[in-house]
Copies of this chain bind each other. A is one copy, B any other.
Amino acid sequence: MNRAQLQKLYPQVRSFTEALCEPLAIEDYVVQSMPDASPVKWHLAHTSWFFETFVLKPAVPSYRPFDERYAYLFNSYYYGAGERHPQPQRGLLSRPTVAQVLDYRRHVDGAMRRFLEDAPERALSERSFVIEVGLNHEEQHQELILTDFKHVLAQNPLAPAYRPAPEPAAGARVPLEWLAYAGGLVALGHQGPGFAFDNERPRHHVFLAPFALASRPVTCAEYEAFLADGGYQRPDVWLSDGWNVRERAGLSAPLYWQHDGTRWLEKTLGGLRPVDPRAPVCHVSYYEADAYARWAGARLPLEGEWELVASSAPVRGNFAEAGLFQPAPTEPGRGPLQLFGDVWEWTASPYLPYPGYEPFPDALGEYNGKFMSGRMVLRGGSCATPTRHIRASYRNFFPLDARWQFSGIRLARAAD
C-alpha cells in the first residue's frame, strides 16, 4: 500500500472500531466473561498497542509511549514483544479507565497520522506492510468486540441488547441443493498483489476427489430437526471428543439458544428473539457441526473444496457494515448462496501450514503459525466481519469446542 492508500484506510478502520462501541455504557467495556474472550476496553487498547509496538517504537525515534506500562498490559501473546498480563485476568483491571484507553488511541492515532504524513518514502515503505497487517488485525478485533460483548451480555439475566434490531422480513424457505464439482489437482492459496496473511500462502496444489457442496448453509429449521431427532443424545453421530465435551458441558442446543416450553429462542445482539427457521444456524462448535453433518448423511467440506468453489464467487454478503450482526435468512438465487458473510463455515480441515509455509518475519511470526495445532479452519466470514477483511483464501481458525463466534455449517459430500 502506498502513502495515500494508508492515509485513507487507517482512519477508516480505526474509527469503525470506535463506532462499534457507541452503544456501550462504560461498565460494558470492563467485563471479561470467559478466559478466551476479552473486555472491549482491552480490544481498544491492544489494537493501539499493535501500532505502537510494531510501527511507532521501531520506526519513529521521537515517539514517546503514552504509558510505558501498557506494553505489559496490552501485549496479547507475543513472546518476542516481552512479558504480558495473563489473558484470563484481563477482566480484573478497572484501570486504565475507558477514557484513558480512548486517550491512548488518540495518542497513537496522532503519531500514526504524523508518521503517514511525514515519514520519508523509504521509512514508510519499510513499515507499510506492518501497518497493513495492523489494520487487518484491527478488523479481526472488530469482530471479536462484537462476539466477546455478545458473550458478556448473554451472561446477564437481565438479557440486555447491544442495540435494537429490526424484525426480519418475511420470506419463504430456500431448499437445499447439491452443487457438483469435479475436483482434481487444483491450486489453492492466495495469489496476486493484494493483502493476505502468511497462513494463506504459498499457493500450492492439492488433489480433490469429485465432490458436491450444499447450495446454502444449514438452517435453524434443519438444526431443530436434528435436535428433535435426539441429536444430542446419540453418541453414534458424534466424535468421541465431542461427545465428552457435550457431556461435560451439558450441551443440548447451540450456544445462546433456550427453549421457552413452546419454541426455541435465541439471545442475539438485538436481544432475545425467536429462532428464525430460515436463517443459518450459528454458534455451534466443530463437534456439533460434524455431528449434524454425520446425522444428515453428509460431511463438512474440506477447506480446499470450499476455496475452490469460493474463488469464483463474488465477495458479497451480510457483513458487519450491514449492522445486522445476525445471520439473515437465505434469499433465493443461483447457488452457492451465502458463502461469504452471515456465518463462518466450519471445514473438515485442521488448521495447518500450507506446504512451504513461511511465517511473517520477526515478531509478527507469532501472528498465525504458532496456533497451527488443535484448531479447525473456518471460511467465509460472518455478519460480524468487516467486508474488506474477507476473501476466498481467508482462513479463520478456532478450537473444536469454540461456540462464541458466528460459526455455522455448510454440508458437503462425495459426488454421486
**Interface residues, chain A, with chain B CB atoms under 8 Å away:** 25-31, 33, 41, 69, 72-73, 77, 79-80, 85, 89, 91-98, 152-153, 155-158, 160, 185, 204-207, 209, 235-236, 238-243, 286-287, 290, 348, 350, 352, 355-356, 365-366, 370-374, 400, 414
A350-B348 contact, Cβ under 8 Å, with A79-B235, A185-B207, A374-B374: no
The 10 closest A-B pairs by CB, nearest first: A27-B94, A92-B155, A79-B235, A240-B370, A26-B26, A350-B350, A28-B94, A30-B30, A207-B207, A209-B355
Quick check: A236 and B155 within 8 Å, CB to CB? no
Which residues of the partner chain B approach A79 to less than 8 Å between Cβ atoms? 235-236
Which residues of the partner chain B approach A29 to less than 8 Å between Cβ atoms? 27, 94
Cα-based distance from A160 to B96 in the complex (angstroms): 9
Q: How many copies does the complex hold?
A: 4
Cβ of A411 to closest chain B Cβ, rounded Å: 15
A80-B26 contact, Cβ under 8 Å, with A89-B155, A94-B152, A155-B92: no
Partner of A80, one of B31, B209, B236, B241: B236
Quick check: A31 and B33 within 8 Å, CB to CB? no
Quick check: B27 and A370 within 8 Å, CB to CB? no
Quick check: B185 and A239 within 8 Å, CB to CB? no
Which residues of the partner chain B approach A204 to less than 8 Å between Cβ atoms? 209
Quick check: B373 and A242 within 8 Å, CB to CB? yes
Quick check: B95 and A160 within 8 Å, CB to CB? yes
Quick check: A356 and B92 within 8 Å, CB to CB? no
Cβ of A246 to closest chain B Cβ, rounded Å: 13
Which residues of the partner chain B approach A157 to less than 8 Å between Cβ atoms? 69, 72-73, 85
Interface centre among A28, A79, A290, A374 (most CB of B within 10 A): A374
Partner of A27, one of B26, B235, B352: B26
Cα-based distance from A373 to B240 in the complex (angstroms): 8
